[in-house]
Amino acid sequence: MRHTIRVAALAASGVLSLSSAGVATAAAEPAHVQMSITATCNATWYGADGEIPPGSHTASGEIFDRYAMTAAHRSLPFNTLVDVSYQGRTITVRINDRGAFADPVCLDLTYGAFGQLANRDLGVITVGYTVR
């Protein structure tokens, strides 16, 4: 009889342990939270005519397109979308390259993307940006 009670007690404690472990695991899983980062920095442009040979690849492996709405960043993951604003204009670019390594520059926009925001003759502009 004592043996039967012990086995039943062990089985019950095992079930409780497993069920509480499952609850703890489910509660410990991180919730998916949409975070955005908003900041200000300097942006430049690259891809002047003849600067990058035709067929050259970006750091992500794509063929560079100077007219694409893309940008280079030091560390944001490839394919991250970034809203970039300057003097009332806002564009959305996709990160597909590495660059903008000289502080305080944080974004290196393509020729086409920069031209949507400002006159390229400015060379460097202070932008607001939001990482989606």
Whether residue 42 lies inside any domain: the answer is yes
Whether residue 11 lies inside any domain: the answer is no
Whether residue 45 lies inside any domain: the answer is yes
Give the residue numbers spanning the domain of 50.
37-131
pLDDT of residue 34: 57
Whether residue 17 lies inside any domain: the answer is no
Verdict on whether the full-model pTM lies above 0.95: no
pLDDT digits (tens, 9 = 90+) for 27-40: 454 455 556 779 99
Whether residue 84 lies inside any domain: the answer is yes
**How many domains, the chain?**
1
How confident is the model over 77-100, as a mean pLDDT? 98
Dihedral sign for Cα 116, 121, 124, 127, please.
negative
pLDDT band at 7 (very low <50, low <70, confident <90, very high): very low
In CATH, what number is assigned to the domain containing residue 121? 2.40.40.10
Contact 72, 102 (CB under 8 A): no
pLDDT of residue 36: 74
Whether residue 6 lies inside any domain: the answer is no
pLDDT digits (tens, 9 = 90+) for 89-114: 999 999 999 999 988 899 999 999 99
Secondary structure string (H, E, C) spanning 12-56: HHHHHHHHHHHHHHHHHCCCCCCCCEEEEEEEEEECCCCCCCCCC
Whether residue 115 lies inside any domain: the answer is yes
Whether residue 4 lies inside any domain: the answer is no
